[in-house]
Structure formats: C-alpha cells, structure tokens
C-alpha cells in the first residue's frame, strides 16, 4: 500500500529579523551568524500568533489546497514542544478552529523536535487500516532562547501541516531506523521561560543519533538527504559524518552541494522551527527543485530523476531520532506548485532589533492590530483562565 503524504502546507510569521542587524546590535562579527551558524533571517511571531494560530493556518491551507473537507479528517496529531497547557492538547484548539468532525481522534505528541515526525509515522500506520482515510499531522513551534544567549541567532517560528492518505499525490514514506537514549542536552523545566541548553553536548548528541540511524542502513549516495535543521551550519557538519559513512569523506562538500544544500535555504531564512524544522527543510528542497526546473524549462519530474529517493532524518533532544525514506509520486509537481513559501518569505516585513526585543520579552503586550498579514486565525488573550481564539476570515 502506498501510504504517505498527500500534500504539505507551511505557515511562517510575516515578520522577520535580519541576523546581520542582530549581530551588529550584539557587537558580534556578522559572519559568525551568517557563515558560522548559517542563518540570515529569523521569523518572529506577533503576539496574536501563537503555536495554535501557526498550526491552524498551516492546517487550513493544506486541506484547502488538497481539496479535502475538514469532515474527512479522522485523525489529528499536533507535534509541538511549545504547548501552553499541560493537560488540554494544543490539537483541541486546532480541531475547533478548523471545524474538524467530533468523530476525529485528536491529540498532541511531545518529543522535543521529533514529536511531529513520530506523529507522522503513527498517522501512516493508522492510515493502513481499511476503515481510515485522511490524517492531518501538524508540526508547530516557536523557538526561543532569550536575548544575548548563544541560542539567540537560532530562534524561529513556523508550522508545517501534512495530510496523510492511502493514495498520496506527493510522496510515499516509511521508517528505516530509530535511535533513543536519555540525555540532558536541551530541556525545558516547567518553571522556566527559556530552555536550558548544553550547546556543544547537544551537537554531540545529534551527531551520535545521526551516525546510529545511518549505520543501520545501506546508504544510497544518489539520494537526497534532509535533516532536522537547528541551524544550517550543523547540517553541513552532520552531512560530512554521513558522507564518511558512505565512503565519500573526501567529496563531502560537493555531495552536500548536490544533495543537501537546497533543503537548507528556507531554514536559513526562518531559523529553528523545532518540530517543523525537518519538514520545512523538505519543503525547501521540493520547492527549490520545482522552481529550478521551471526556470531551466525542464520537467520537474525529470529534474528529480537524478536523485534516487529522499532520506529524512528527524532529531529531538532528550533524545530520540528517526530516519525515514520518502519516494516522490509522479504527481509531486502538481502539489508543490501551491507551496509558495519562497514568495511568503520574500513578502515579510523586516523588524528592527528594538521591535524584535519588545516582542520577545513582552509577548503578551497588547498591540494595536488592524492587519493580520494573511492569517486566518488570531489569539486574543486569556479570559476566565481560557485562551481565546477566533477565525479572522474564511476566504
């Protein structure tokens, strides 16, 4: 059975900060951020744009573009590590905003950045049953480390929604290998605003996980390699390790340029999106490949023939990792045509460092809002201890 991802939609906040300006404000050489970390711009959400709003927008788009009614969704899983509540799932708000049926199974999955990937694999298993049709899996997160911290240039925000079905028009997907080990590399105690991070150790944990997962398979060096991307420079280091596992140690830079680079383009303009990160990297590869083929006047289907499948590596601190394999369907260009993520990134408004700091430190600050930048939903604060959400438009 060809179970997999029928369609993907992405939602990123409409405001961003230039890392060049952040470096200048922090008195740091800009090349540390632009080259050493590999991030040029990071997404900054507005106060009305929490993880529910990010997720609902991505979910709304994926169903609309795929031509699927919310009533056809039988399973809704939200992967997030930025939840506002320890009991009421984020997915319940998304379920309500998207008008999904009461007969739908609705829950969150928490495993740092890997939550949505585990959710996707659960949805794939679920969709194998003859009585099940469409599942919606949404990765949504706001990555924050705080002003002046080493993690500050790796912040970001965004959501990626994936529609899972038995007859996917985008890609088939299957699990290849898994790795789990209890570590304290990055964690979020309940009483702390920002995560605690052992930066160097977290990189080591990621590298151990990637080596463990790829060591369990016979690596096809002609495939594309998509990785969880906390920051693009780490993906270069990670790929150098994977390249040596497949006997390409001396050739890793060229291999990275051919098989990885295009997946790093959007993460370098958005920052870390935690659970959504690896999926944003996939979107970056697919849309870049599609647009490149159109510009060259060749068929996108022929353009991907040089690649033999797609490896998708998801990592979550704490830690867990899963290596998946994706195989594009011949209908993939029809689905990718509606992504329009590069355009959305080009259309964003640039914030000053002062505006960004105000948003980061006082996210509940009431703002005079008359424009929601294409969002269909908004968060409007807490009333009677309950978070308030509403739909802005239904076009």
Catalytic residue annotation: 81, 113, 228
Residue 154 interacts with ligand HMG (CB under 6 A): yes or no? yes
The CB-based long-range contact list for 123-130 (8 Å cut-off, 24+ gap) reads 123/75, 123/77, 123/162, 123/164, 124/3, 124/4, 124/164, 124/173, 124/174, 126/74, 126/75, 126/164, 127/3, 127/164, 127/165, 127/166, 128/1, 128/3, 128/166
Single out the segment in contact with ligand HMG by CB under 6 A; choices: 149-157, 242-250, 285-293, 298-306.
149-157
Site string for ligand HMG, 276-315 (x = CB under 6 A): ---------------------------------------x
- 45 vs 151, beta carbon nearer ligand HMG: 151
Element (H, E) at 79: strand 73-79
Interface with ligand HMG (CB under 6 A), residue from 156, 316, 326, 333: 316
Q: Give the shortest CB-328-to-ligand HMG separation in angstroms.
A: 26
Sign of CA dihedral 17, 20, 25, 30: positive
Q: Give the shortest CB-191-to-ligand HMG separation in angstroms.
A: 18
Q: Give the shortest CB-317-to-ligand HMG separation in angstroms.
A: 4
- 11 vs 274, beta carbon nearer ligand HMG: 274
Single out the segment in contact with ligand HMG by CB under 6 A; choices: 12-20, 63-71, 150-158, 321-329.
150-158
Site string for ligand HMG, 94-123 (x = CB under 6 A): ------------------xx----------
Interface with ligand HMG (CB under 6 A), residue from 99, 126, 176, 199: 199
Residue 320 interacts with ligand HMG (CB under 6 A): yes or no? no
Confirm if 73 and 136 have CB atoms less than 8 A apart: yes
Residue 80 interacts with ligand HMG (CB under 6 A): yes or no? no
- 34 vs 310, beta carbon nearer ligand HMG: 34
Q: Give the shortest CB-90-to-ligand HMG separation in angstroms.
A: 15
Residue 381 interacts with ligand HMG (CB under 6 A): yes or no? no
Q: Give the shortest CB-112-to-ligand HMG separation in angstroms.
A: 3
Q: Residue 244, Cβ neighbours under 10 Å: how many?
A: 13
CB closest to ligand HMG, residue no: 36
Confirm if 80 and 108 have CB atoms less than 8 A apart: yes
Give CA–CA dist 377/213, Å, rounded.
Answer: 39
316: Cα within 13 Å, side-chain hemisphere: 26
Residue 150 interacts with ligand HMG (CB under 6 A): yes or no? yes
DSSP string, 219-263: --TTSEEEE--SSHHHHHHHHHHHHHHTT-GGGHHHHHHHHTGGG
Ramachandran assignment for 366, one of left (phi > 0), alpha (psi -120 to 50 degrees), beta (any other): beta
Give CA–CA dist 184/60, Å, rounded.
Answer: 36
Interface with ligand HMG (CB under 6 A), residue from 234, 276, 286, 323: 234
Using DSSP, state whether 300 is helix, strand or coil: helix
- 4 vs 320, beta carbon nearer ligand HMG: 320
Token couple for 313: 């590596």
- Positions 22 through 51 that interact with ligand HMG (CB under 6 A): 29, 31-32, 35-37
Q: What is the largest CA-CA distance in the chain?
A: 61
* Locus of tokens 């609902």: 56
Ramachandran assignment for 372, one of left (phi > 0), alpha (psi -120 to 50 degrees), beta (any other): alpha
Residue 82 interacts with ligand HMG (CB under 6 A): yes or no? no
Residues that bind ligand HMG (CB under 6 A): 29, 31-32, 35-37, 81, 112-113, 150-151, 154, 185-186, 197, 199, 202-203, 206, 228, 230-231, 234, 272, 274, 315-317
């Amino acid at each position: 059975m060809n179970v997999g991802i029928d369609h993907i939609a992405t939602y990123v906040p409409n405001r961003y900060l230039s890392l060049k300006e952040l470096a200048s404000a922090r008195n740091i050489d800009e090349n540390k951020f632009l080259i050493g970390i590999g991030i040029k711009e990071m997404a900054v959400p507005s106060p009305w744009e929490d993880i529910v709003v990010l997720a609902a927008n991505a979910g709304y788009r994926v169903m609309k573009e795929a031509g699927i009614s919310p009533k056809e969704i039988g399973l809704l899983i939200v992967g997030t590590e930025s939840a506002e509540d320890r009991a009421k799932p984020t997915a319940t708000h998304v379920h309500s905003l998207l008008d999904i049926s009461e007969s739908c199974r609705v829950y969150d999955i928490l495993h740092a950045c890997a939550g949505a990937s585990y959710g996707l694999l659960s949805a794939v298993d679920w969709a194998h049953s003859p009585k099940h049709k469409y599942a919606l899996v949404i990765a949504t997160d706001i990555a924050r480390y705080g002003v002046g911290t080493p993690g500050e240039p790796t912040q970001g925000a965004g959501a990626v929604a994936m529609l899972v079905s038995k007859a996917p028009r985008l890609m088939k997907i299957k699990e290849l290998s898994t790795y789990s080990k209890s570590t304290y590399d990055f964690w979020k105690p309940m009483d702390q605003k920002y995560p605690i991070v052992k930066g160097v150790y977290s990189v080591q944990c990621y590298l151990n996980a990637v080596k463990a997962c790829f060591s369990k398979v016979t690596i096809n060096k002609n495939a594309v390699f998509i990785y969880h991307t906390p920051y693009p420079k780490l993906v270069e280091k990670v790929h150098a390790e994977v390249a040596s596992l497949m006997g390409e140690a001396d050739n890793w830079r060229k291999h990275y340029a051919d098989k990885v680079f295009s997946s790093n383009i959007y993460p370098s303009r958005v920052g870390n999106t935690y659970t959504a990160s690896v999926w944003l990297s996939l979107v970056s590869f697919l849309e870049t490949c599609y647009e490149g083929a159109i510009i060259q006047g060749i068929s996108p289907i022929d353009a991907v023939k040089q690649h033999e499948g797609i490896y998708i590596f998801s990592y979550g601190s704490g830690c867990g990792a899963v290596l998946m394999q994706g195989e594009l369907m011949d209908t993939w260009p029809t689905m990718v045509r509606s992504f329009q993520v590069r355009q959305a990134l080009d259309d964003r408004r640039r914030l000053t460092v002062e505006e960004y700091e105000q948003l980061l430190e006082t996210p509940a600050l009431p703002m005079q809002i008359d424009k929601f930048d294409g969002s269909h939903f908004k968060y409007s604060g807490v009333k009677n201890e309950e978070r308030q959400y509403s739909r802005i438009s239904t076009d």
